[in-house]
Structure 1
Amino acid sequence: METAYIKTPVGIARIEGDEHGVSVISIVDEATQLSPEIPNILSKAAQELHEYFEGERRDFSFALNPRGTDFQKAVWQELRDIPFGKTTSYMELSRKLGDVKAIRAVAAANGKNPLWIVVPCHRVIGSDGSLTGYAGGLWRKKWLLEHETPPVQHRLF
């Protein structure tokens, strides 16, 4: 397993993976030294995350290898299907997975998402439009949502 630490506008990100794909991307709140070199296995992920933060990328193409239960993986796949710049609710995710009563299980799986940004759990909000819990902190969730939906400049003349 290789690990790299990269700088993002919202903190230091840790990327972990091997020849089978990236298994973890997380935000690190404690002081951590940036990786002087990115391992080859993780270089595409680091580059694509950089492009995302620069506003040049909306989708990711590097191999993923998250660890989780079949149910968690099904939820994470639904999260990947949320379009860039859009949001959904836990209730809507539960509906798409075929069981509205599974809303708490869906929320728990969302909270265990090991692939920050790439599996966009930040795009899940409350049914009333409120920002709900986010492992990286609500300020980061707000930042990411604003990054994906910048204000539109209307013509002045």
Structure 2
Amino acid sequence: MAGGRPRQPDELKKLKGTLQPCRVNQEAPKTLPGIPEVPSGLDHMGKKAFKEICEDLYQMKVITTHDRHILYQAAEALSDYRRYKKTLKKVGEVYENTNRKTGITHYHARPEVKMKKDAWEQFHKCLTQCGLTPSMRAKVKVVKKEEENPFEAMMNS
């Protein structure tokens, strides 16, 4: 397995303005633009998260129907994060355990604290893969379409 940074899709390179034609894989499969269907395996919070992420990618014009698996993973991670956060808000992040013999009380972090952290890290990885983190967005350049010059069109015909 090769080390280094994960390879970026050509669409993302094009948006950043770093696409070099000599480095484009001409044999790469073509993806169809569009919003994938909401997967049936997600719970209510996951479906809501899926739609939110798709909306963000749609506004950036980088979403394809083939992104459903990474979007599913991102939505599931965000759903888990929100569920753990809600649970911890109710029960608190720490519980106490008193030793019966010594009477000493120890405080421990609930397992949901680590689970919430892991879910957030998984969600962040998915955001990075999709180009939705601020650092990835800062690298994207919006290429303005040049307006067609009627005089130039007349001269070229």
**TM-score w.r.t. structure 2 length?**
0.27
Ranked by relative contact order (alpha carbons within 8 Å, sequence separation 6 or more), the top structure is 2
**TM-score w.r.t. structure 1 length?**
0.27
Rg larger in structure: 2
